[in-house]
């Protein structure tokens, strides 16, 4: 949807290792988001970007960092993965800030052992 590709789709990693998830979009949308989805918690915002090199924290940003060096790419990094970061991660884009829907990728399932 909206040309959003997330990679990898699945990843298993060990506690304490760094992990980077990638989101690539082809729609030239200005706004990009990282959410995590967990049972009983729904979708929670981790970080978002409102332009190249412009990012801000969301609701659950501790332990995560992001970077956006190009309009089309938004990276999410777990500096030192913990078991509590086992989750499904979704990238989303939005054309405008007002009254504009989010378009989601198909997610990355991350397991931290």
Q: How far is the CB of 22 from other proteins (least distance, A)?
A: 15
**Least distance from other proteins to the Cβ atom of residue 80, Å:** 25
| Residue 82: CB minimum distance to other proteins, A | 23
Output 7 or 80, the one with its CB closest to other proteins.
7
Which of 80, 106 has the CB closer to other proteins? 106
Binding site for other proteins (CB under 8 A): 1, 4, 31, 33, 40-45, 48, 50, 56, 58, 90, 92, 94, 97-99, 101-107
Strand partners, 59: none
């Amino acid at each position: 949807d909206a040309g959003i590709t997330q990679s990898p789709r699945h990843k298993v990693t060990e506690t304490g290792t760094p992990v980077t998830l990638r989101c690539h979009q082809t729609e030239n949308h200005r706004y990009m988001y990282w959410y995590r989805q967990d049972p009983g918690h729904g979708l929670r915002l981790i970080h978002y970007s409102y332009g190249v090199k412009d990012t801000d924290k969301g609701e659950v940003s501790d332990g995560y960092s992001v970077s956006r060096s190009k309009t089309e790419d938004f990276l999410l990094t777990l500096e030192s993965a913990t078991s509590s970061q086992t989750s499904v991660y979704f990238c989303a884009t939005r054309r405008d800030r007002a009254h504009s829907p989010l378009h989601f990728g198909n997610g990355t399932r991350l397991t931290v052992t």
